[in-house]
Amino acid sequence: MAELQEQHILVATFPGQGHINPALHLAKRLARFPSTHVTFSTTISGHRRMFPSSSSEELHHNLLTFAPFSDGHDSEITRSNTSFSDYFSVFNRLAPLSLSAILRSFAARGRPVTSILYTILLPWAADVARDLSIPSHLYWIQASTVFSTYQHYLHETTLVAAHVDEPHFTLSFPNLKPSLQIRDLPSFFTMPPDHPFYPIFETLMAVFDRLEGERRRGYKPKVLVNSFHALEPDVSVEEVELVPIGPLLPVLFEDHEVEGGNLFRVDEKEYMEWLDMKEEGSVVYISFGSFSLMKKEQVEEMVRGLKESKRPFLWVVRKENGGGGVEIEEGDDGMVVEWCDQVRVLAHRAVGCFVTHCGWNSTLESLVCGVPMVAVPQWTDQCTNAKLVESLWGCGVRSEVDGDGVLQGVELVRCLELVMGEGKKGVEIRNKAKVWRDKALEAVAEGGSSDVNLKAFVDEIKIKELIK
């Protein structure tokens, strides 16, 4: 049996903020295991935004090696002027070649990669790993429930298509609670093939093709999931073994400031000092993530609702995502910032509610901090997450939008009063939020379900390398 001095895990991810965050949290967690070296790899353009002051492409930082691959759009300007269809066409052709070259370089330098973990928009990473005889595993950075819906969709495509115009048609999938309506499914399932974002869906489905390929070769794929058992105990998928290892968040591992992780510059406004002056549980925090675009009408309705609610608010909206920005009138008790440290904000005692698009990272961060949610889902997995928040976990409410997808100010007021008011429902929602905070912390604590799962996974891949 060969002796393995140090295993070398490479974590590869797509260059989006919602992908980089969970991938980086996992990489930093893995780097704390004995005799384990970890390399983090995203595109060159993403790497340069993470480390704008660095002149080196490969660098060592906070226990990790960062080795970016080229996607054919190393210039941010070039990528921003490219359609999704053209981008993924080049990305899926050139990125595998670049990552393969990185892996060969590590091997030539006596530091061979012994295992690859890849996130949801990198199906080709599994092909690269197989070509170089390196074990690989998918790291699913969405909910286990969402993974299950994709597997069910593969068998129920016709049923979903038949009811695409019936948002309240209910589907009952085996081993999945609660029942989901068409409007609760990932938006890709009802998206026409000519939609600009459809190439993202095709790339996602390619991930499931690779998993099915593993099954045909006689292996049951093991998929890491950024979730925890108590959160989704009834989810099981026959085709793969789901391994909940989350929630992987910096606040849980005394790693509050994830230096190098932000693709956007944190606003210099003193928002934490502003929060310090507010009463406990009084502030409404609003953020729809890094990607969601806000119509001008939506901005106006949000302003109208916040003004009518008479609650202090902290609102994250980047100028390019919010119709040129938001102006606060004199006398309004609010602050608008372009970007912030969301975990720090959610963990602050003054924050009493999170108005969120319900991206999975934001949902987990809210759960971990015990903050109830007003869900305003936009697309992809967000509608499914919103359903879970309201119907399964009971720690928030899903808002209703008009026919144009706009959250009206009066509806925002209703939701805020429901979640933050003194009525019976509001008290229940806030109590549930605290319960899920405790369960999340328990899962990742020493000996917790996710802690045990991750340790077992690392031990398993180490043993497999030893007996090769």
Decide: 376 and 355 in contact? Cβ < 8 Å: yes
Residue 258 amino acid letter: V
- Measure the CA–CA gap between 166 and 80, rounded to whole angstroms: 35
d(CA 350, CA 371): 10
Catalytic residue selected from 8, 19, 137, 357: 19
Residue 4 CA to residue 8 CA, distance in Å, equals 10
109 and 6 Cβ atoms separated by less than 8 Å: no
Output helix, strand, coil percentages for the chain, rounded to the nearest 5.
45, 15, 40
Transcribe 379-436 into DSSP letters.
Answer: STTHHHHHHIIIIIS-SEEEPP--TTS---HHHHHHHHHHHHSSSHHHHHHHHHHHHH
Q: From 224, 235, 246, 242, select the one nearest 440 (Cα to Cα).
A: 246
Known active-site residue 19: yes
Tell which phi-psi region holds residue 331, choosing left (phi > 0), alpha (psi between -120 and 50) or beta: left
Q: Residue 213 and residue 114: Cα distance in Å, rounded?
A: 21
What are the φ and ψ backbone dihedral angles of 347, each rounded to 5 degrees? -80, -10
CB-hemisphere CA count at 13 Å for 218? 0
Contact status, residue 373 vs residue 366, Cβ threshold 8 Å: yes
Exposure of 320 in the CB half-sphere (CA atoms within 13 A):
6
Active site residues: 19
